[in-house]
Amino acid sequence: MIDNNASVLLIYTGGTIGMIENRDTGSLEAFDFKHLKMHMPEFALLKFTVDSIQFDPPIDSSDMDMEGWMQIVRIIQDNYSRYDGFVVLHGTDTMAYTASALSFMLENIDKPVILTGSQLPIGKVRTDGKENLITALEIAVDKAPDGRPFVPEVCIFFQNDLMRGNRTTKVNAENFHAFKSFNYPVLAQAGVHIKYEHHLIIHPRIRQMPRFHYMLDPNVVILKLFPGISPDMVKAILNIPNLKGVVLETYGMGNAPNLSWFGKAVKDAVDRGIVIVNVSQCITGTVEMECYHAGKILLDAGVVSGYNSTTEAAVTKLMFLLGHGMTAAQVKEHVKCPLMGEIDVN
């Protein structure tokens, strides 16, 4: 149900969606969102209010960072009481990282925060941006008859699918189906109607206010294993000064080479207080380090399971937990529990 008095704040951070072609040079340039209605006359047909605010300058999402995430959180916090929902327009390249980070930074929200973007700029005839944007806006203001929003979560809406933000990964550089949520079903599908899977959606804890977090620790790295990785490479990464957290991308169910130098390097790092989280390079399934000897070595070294987390969720969760000044032991305990539906613990 969409109320005529509803309002959404549209936050344009940058990315392809808000671009038009410079007729002289042929290159894509960001347009001023104050002129959105000029580029999208469909806006005039919406029955609710859309206000917009934009990053100055808008950025390619390759330039998104912790400061950018904090800027989005700040905009949402400052405007929280004034709007029914928020739509964040974002480049697709790092959207899954931003959606994951925001899911932790916006704790216990009771309003939708929907990220979307497009593969083709809004200024192009075949754009996928208009549909993504209009549907994201509708979802941001859509409510149950009792007035509660259907999706009070941080989500990505892209090409018909509404997905929990911290379950997403960009999977296609070209196709309009750019995102997938491999280990969790979609929260809604938009066709002729928007069909919500209500039982899959997280609702805020009652009698608790939303909390907006700004503390993130940058001393986190992703280490992806590959056959032939050398001791020097692994040691160089695990000895980065001030390193506090590692997302270790392993094989299959969480397996790593059975080499003494490798096990020793990992154990040394854990003993120095570095939290190492095991996520699989496979896109579906979960880490089970007890299954093979090749996983057990990691378990014995003190590596903690990331279960079926995406890398994007694991790395931003580590930044978030470490940013709150927790000890390594506390971080490990929290890594094992879902904070915002980002993992299934088996």
**Active site residues per annotation:** 16
Instruction: Please report how close the Cβ of residue 18 comes to ligand ASP at its closest, in angstroms.
Output: 9
Q: Does 117 bind ligand ASP (CB under 6 A)?
A: yes
With CB under 6 A as the contact rule, which of the stretches 29-37, 87-95, 152-160, 281-289 interacts with ligand ASP?
87-95
Q: Is there binding between residue 153 and ligand ASP (CB under 6 A)?
A: no
User: Could you say whether residue 98 binds ligand ASP (CB under 6 A)?
Assistant: no
| Rounded alpha-carbon distances, angstroms, from residue 66 to 71, 102, 180 | 9, 10, 23
Q: Which residue's Cβ has the minimum distance to ligand ASP? A: 91
Residue whose pair of structure tokens reads 């859509």 in the numeric block = 142
**Cβ distance to ligand ASP smaller for residue 60 or 268:** 60
Report the residue from 32, 60, 65, 110 that binds ligand ASP according to the rule CB under 6 A: 60
Least CB distance to ligand ASP at residue 129 (A): 9
Build a one-symbol-per-residue string for 6-45: x at contacts with ligand ASP by CB under 6 A, - elsewhere.
--------xxx-----------------------------
For ligand ASP, the closer of residues 14 and 323 by Cβ is 14
Among 54, 92, 127, 316, binds ligand ASP (CB under 6 A): 92
- Closest separation between CB of residue 93 and ligand ASP, Å? 3
Whichever of 40 and 243 has its CB closer to ligand ASP, that residue is: 40
Among 68, 83, 85, 93, binds ligand ASP (CB under 6 A): 93
- Number of chain positions touching ligand ASP (CB under 6 A): 11
Question: Interface with ligand ASP by CB under 6 A: which range of 59-67, 229-237, 273-281, 309-317?
Answer: 59-67
CB 204 within 8 A of CB 210: yes
Minimum CB–partner distance for residue 297 and ligand ASP (Å): 37
333 residue type, one letter: E
Q: Using CB under 6 A, which of 68, 91, 245, 257 touches ligand ASP?
A: 91
> CB of 161: closest distance to ligand ASP in angstroms?
16
Per residue, the 3-state secondary structure of the chain, as one string, reads: CCCCCCEEEEEECCCHHHEEECCCCCCEEECCHHHHHHHCHHHHHCCCEEEEEECCCCCCHHHCCHHHHHHHHHHHHHHHHHCCEEEEECCCCCHHHHHHHHHHHEECCCCCEEEECCCCCCCCCCCCHHHHHHHHHHHHHCECCCCCECCCCEEEEECCEEEEHHHEEECCCCCCCCEEECCCCCCEEECCCEEECHHHCCCCCCCCCCEECCCCCCCEEEEECCCCCCHHHHHHHHCCCCCCEEEEEEECCCECCCCHHHHHHHHHHHHCCCEEEEEECCCCCCCCCCCCHHHHHHHHHCCEECCCCCHHHHHHHHHHHHHCCCCHHHHHHHHCCCCCCCCCCC
The residues that touch ligand ASP, with contacts defined as CB under 6 A, are: 14-16, 60-62, 91-93, 117, 119
